[in-house]
A and B are shown apart, each in its own frame.
Chain A
């Protein structure tokens, strides 16, 4: 069961950097216990929220990319829910979307190789249009 999830959460804006690092590391330490792994951690910085959440108008956004089964996510979400400074979180499963994107990309690359040779056929059309417009006005 290898799935990829994006876990985005918002912590309250008055949190210090050390506290935030500590919070993230405790979250990370919980993941391997349930056969998961943290792929990356990104602190997206402080941002104005689109609406008030728990009387806060700003928040510090953090993005975790986690690989593993549902149990890892379940544990992480439970922890986020009980952690006081976390005001909001969202989990999105991304592996299927990524698979779809890879497929499209592969398809496009294949098509690009094919269309590389008859590129010259695209040239005459603008020239023909340019020739047509003076004739129409005259």
Chain B
């Protein structure tokens, strides 16, 4: 996906050079959107829900490796705006993470020692 974008980049930048207002609102280098190299603008790739893309419907508390991807180092559940998970899946995800915490598969705080 990213490889396809690069050759098209100079062509895309040419006509739009007049409006090169840098988008300062975004955090550079968020999880889903690294800044395009050499570009003035931050191009954020559209984040997609991992569960929708891979068609994972069964979000289970036993699958702590999967859940671990959506837990920060501190043990917090990563918000949707950072991971791109859709609302229905985030809802199930958060329930599963809380269950996994209860049975000591995931930490409440801090990472697994």
Contacts and interface: CB of A to CB of B under 8 A. Distances in A.
Q: Is B one of A's binding partners? A: yes
A22 to B, nearest CB: 23
Interface stretch (B20-28, B40-48, B78-86, B98-106): B98-106
Contact of A48 (B8, B55, B58, B113): B113
Contact of B105 (A50, A92, A100): A50
Name the prevailing secondary structure of the B interface residues. Answer: loop
A51 B112 CA distance: 7
A36 interface: no
Interface string A42-60: 0000001111010001010
Instruction: Place the interface of chain A in its size category.
Output: 20 to 34
B58 A59 contact: no
Contact of B8 (A57, A59, A100, A136): A136
B104 A53 contact: yes
A88 B104 contact: yes
B103 to A, nearest CB: 4
Contacts of B99: 90, 92
A137 B11 contact: yes
Interface residues of B, number: 22
The 8 tightest CB contacts between A and B, nearest first, are A136-B11, A50-B107, A49-B104, A90-B103, A50-B104, A50-B112, A104-B57, A90-B102
A133 interface: yes
A10 B11 contact: no
Contacts of B62: 8, 63
Given A101-B58, A104-B57, A8 B103 contact: yes
